[in-house]
Each structure stands twice: as structure tokens, then as C-alpha cells.
């Protein structure tokens, strides 16, 4: 499987790789010796992973269960450097370089800063916040939630106040509402906990027992997916045909439950079948696209155990489950079928963390 040799590969061998699970590093953002701000405090940095939904998207908005896993090798990073006030935000990827008061209050970056400092009962610090991210935007990989999570963690570290994953998740959920309208909460949950989760809206997330290593390929179609629009479209269809959509959501729920059992038993073949079935239901819901069907079909023909669109759909990414010997072949097929990028990640039983035993 992924060895890190290929620049597009990630290997989620350690969910806290490069970032001690939200406990931030200090030091220069570029990894060079820190020489600025003599006598002052060093920068603080914190990061958060991307995510991929394994099964259950859309139906999860309507109270059905879903399963999601972190993409720990793809990360958003927030770096806070001492800087004369007011608090300044730099997000070069989206062309933002502005003092906080100049951003609209409902801008997602301004909102997460405001919500976090309110929660910490502190003012915005005299600092420059710089955002860096390897997670492509509008690709269904949780870029927005990861940026918000990294910012909340960095501010908490700046003030030396630990924020536990449920608290971070709740703050990020408020910002997700700006991006998504009616989010289920699965993205902020899997990213803030950075653990595979079985998730039902409105309930605390359940850790997902994983009976064997799952080898996943995630392929970006290169076509942007606007979650808010696709979720809104499904809502209109559900309002127009409630019985039909409720039945589709129930079928998804049955696939998620079967997948959960397959994952616990380490039965990758059974899981692959459930992923295939879930993709067909998503097609019936009207959220797939030719480009996604083509990638899914290519992965299956090349020997994937299962493949489906992941996230909101219409664009974004597909996820394929593979046996390690088939991984190179499936990846090549995905690229030939038009994937802009392909990442690899492994999912396995997570060690219990302190916060999970509370």
C-alpha cells in the first residue's frame, strides 16, 4: 500500500501524524529555526485532518446512520504568530489577507475565530492567523470543517486552554451551518475526533470497531461539488416525493448497518458489496454524475472490492475499497478514467484515547 513515495499518496498509519492530535506544536511554520519576535512567544500551530464518508451521506441529514473516517494525511493547518493588533487573518488559497474587523461577521473564518474566543472567554489575540491546507476545496473531503477545527485548536493552544473534541466539534458545527445550510454534523464530528465514526444526527458519535485494515483509494474527480446546493436539491426532491425519498434513506440505513457489521468482522468483501449498493441508491437519489459513475466503474473493473461516490456528489470524490495487490491497478484505472488526484489511506482499529474513555 501507500508508502509515501508518490506525492499524491497519503498513508494514515498514525492519525496524529505530524500533529499531536490537536495539541499544537510551537516553532516556525516552515520548520526553520524561529528567529522572529525576539524575546516574545513563538508561533503556535495546530492542524486537522480531512475526511471521507464511507457510507450514508445525504440519508444522514434525515436521521439515518452514516460511517466516516478521517483522512489523516491530508491536513489544514492554522499558524498563530505574535503580531500587533488587531487580529489579522491570512488565507492565501482563498485570497484573504485582512484584519478580523474587516471580514463580514458571518464569514466562516471570522465566525470560527469569534465563536472560539467567546468559548475561551478571551479577546482575539494580538496575532496573525495564517491558514495553509492540502485539502482541496469543494471536493467532499471536509476542507471547511478542517480549517475551522485547526483554527479552534490553535486559539485554544494560544491561551493554554484545552478544548476537548466534542467542544471543538460543536463550535465547528456552527460554522458548517454557514457552508452547508442543514448539515448533519458528521463532517465536524469525524474531523474533531479524528477517528472512524458511526454517526447518527443529534447523538454522540460512536467509535467504529474495525476488525481488519481497510485499504481505501480516494479519487478527486476534479469537478467541484457544492454541498449546500446538492443538499438543498435533495431536500426539494424529498419534499416533492417524501415516501420515495424516505424509502431510499431507509435502504441506505440498511446498507450502513450491514457495512458496520462487515467492518467489525474485518470482512472487506462484504463491505465492498455494501459500498456498491450504496452508490446505486445515491444514483437513484439523483446525486451522482457521469464523471463519478465513470470513476466508480473503472475502479470496479480494475478489481476494487467496492466503490462509490463520497460526500454530497455531483462532483467531488469517489472512494474505492481494495485488496493491497489490486491497489496499483485500481489507482491507474482511476487516473485513466479522469481522476485529478488519487490518495491512499488505511483504516484500522484506533487505540482508545483518554477523551474516549470519559
| Shortest separation between residue 301's beta carbon and ligand MEV, angstroms | 27
- Cα 78 to Cα 21, 89, 261: the distances in Å are 14, 10, 37
Contact positions toward ligand MEV, by CB under 6 A? 53, 57-58, 60-61, 140, 180, 183-184, 186-187, 227, 231, 311-312
| Three-state SS at 38 | coil
Q: Are strands 206-207 and 306-310 parallel, antiparallel or unpaired?
A: unpaired
| Shortest separation between residue 146's beta carbon and ligand MEV, angstroms | 12
- Taking the CB of residue 39, how many other CB atoms lie within 10 A of it? 4
| Shortest separation between residue 263's beta carbon and ligand MEV, angstroms | 19
276 is catalytic: no
Of residues 73 and 316, the one with the C-beta less far from ligand MEV: 316
- Taking the CB of residue 58, how many other CB atoms lie within 10 A of it? 27
Task: Give yes or no for a contact between 192 and 70, defined as CB atoms under 8 angstroms apart.
Answer: no
Catalytic residue (one of 19, 187, 276, 346): 187
Q: What is the dihedral of CA 324, 325, 331, 332, to 10 degrees?
A: 170
Within a 13 Å sphere around the CA of 114, how many CA atoms are in the beta-carbon half? 13
Of residues 183 and 272, the one with the C-beta less far from ligand MEV: 183
Of residues 70 and 140, the one with the C-beta less far from ligand MEV: 140
Please give the residue whose beta carbon sits closest to ligand MEV in the complex.
Answer: 184
* E strands in the chain: 25-26, 44-55, 66-82, 88-91, 96-99, 127-133, 197-199, 206-207, 214-220, 306-310, 317-322, 341-347
Of residues 24 and 142, the one with the C-beta less far from ligand MEV: 142
Cβ neighbours of residue 58 closer than 8 Å, sequence gap 6 or more: 231, 234, 249, 252, 282, 285, 287, 312, 313
Cβ neighbours of residue 93 closer than 8 Å, sequence gap 6 or more: 131, 132, 133, 137
Grid coordinates of 136 = 482541496
| Shortest separation between residue 174's beta carbon and ligand MEV, angstroms | 14
Task: Give yes or no for a contact between 156 and 173, defined as CB atoms under 8 angstroms apart.
Answer: no
| Three-state SS at 93 | helix
Of residues 57 and 346, the one with the C-beta less far from ligand MEV: 57
Grid coordinates of 40 = 516574545
Of residues 184 and 278, the one with the C-beta less far from ligand MEV: 184
| Shortest separation between residue 266's beta carbon and ligand MEV, angstroms | 26
| Shortest separation between residue 32's beta carbon and ligand MEV, angstroms | 36
Task: State how far Cα 317 lies from the chain centre.
Answer: 12
| Shortest separation between residue 60's beta carbon and ligand MEV, angstroms | 5
Of residues 76 and 155, the one with the C-beta less far from ligand MEV: 76
Catalytic residue IDs: 187
Amino acid at each position: 500500500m501507500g508508502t509515501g513515495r508518490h506525492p499524491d499518496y497519503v498513508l494514515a498509519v498514525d492519525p496524529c501524524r505530524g500533529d499531536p492530535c490537536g495539541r499544537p506544536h510551537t516553532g516556525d511554520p516552515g520548520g526553520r529555526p524561529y528567529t522572529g519576535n525576539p524575546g516574545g512567544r513563538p508561533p503556535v500551530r495546530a492542524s486537522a485532518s480531512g475526511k471521507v464518508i464511507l457510507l450514508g451521506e445525504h440519508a444522514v441529514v434525515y436521521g439515518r446512520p452514516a460511517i466516516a473516517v478521517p483522512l489523516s494525511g491530508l491536513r489544514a493547518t492554522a499558524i498563530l504568530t505574535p503580531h500587533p493588533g488587531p487580529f489579522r487573518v491570512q488565507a492565501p488559497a482563498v485570497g484573504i489577507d485582512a484584519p478580523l474587523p474587516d471580514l463580514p461577521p458571518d464569514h466562516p473564518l471570522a465566525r470560527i475565530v469569534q465563536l472560539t474566543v467567546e468559548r475561551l472567554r478571551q479577546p482575539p489575540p494580538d496575532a496573525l492567523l495564517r491558514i495553509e491546507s492540502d485539502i482541496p476545496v469543494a471536493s467532499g473531503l471536509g476542507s471547511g470543517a478542517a480549517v475551522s477545527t485547526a483554527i479552534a485548536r490553535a486559539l485554544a493552544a494560544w491561551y493554554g486552554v484545552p478544548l476537548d473534541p466534542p467542544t471543538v466539534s460543536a463550535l465547528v458545527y456552527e460554522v458548517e451551518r454557514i457552508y452547508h445550510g442543514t448539515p448533519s454534523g458528521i463532517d465536524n464530528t469525524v474531523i474533531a475526533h479524528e477517528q472512524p465514526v458511526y454517526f447518527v444526527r443529534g447523538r454522540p458519535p460512536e467509535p467504529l470497531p474495525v476488525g481488519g485494515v481497510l485499504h481505501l483509494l480516494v479519487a478527486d474527480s476534479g469537478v467541484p461539488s457544492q454541498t449546500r446546493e446538492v443538499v438543498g436539491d435533495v431536500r426539494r426532491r424529498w419534499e416533492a416525493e417524501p415516501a420515495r425519498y424516505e424509502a431510499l434513506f431507509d435502504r441506505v440505513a440498511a446498507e450502513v448497518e450491514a457495512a458496520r457489521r462487515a467492518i467489525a468482522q474485518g470482512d472487506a468483501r462484504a463491505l465492498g458489496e455494501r459500498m456498491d449498493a450504496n452508490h446505486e441508491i445515491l444514483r437513484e437519489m439523483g446525486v451522482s454524475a457521469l464523471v463519478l459513475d465513470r470513476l466508480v466503474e473503472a475502479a470496479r473493473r480494475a478489481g476494487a472490492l467496492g466503490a462509490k461516490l463520497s460526500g454530497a456528489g455531483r462532483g467531488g470524490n469517489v472512494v474505492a475499497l481494495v485488496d493491497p495487490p489490486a491497489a496499483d491497478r485500481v489507482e491507474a484505472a482511476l487516473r485513466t478514467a479522469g481522476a485529478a488526484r488519487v490518495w491512499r489511506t488505511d483504516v484500522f482499529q484506533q487505540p482508545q484515547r483518554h477523551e474516549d474513555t470519559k
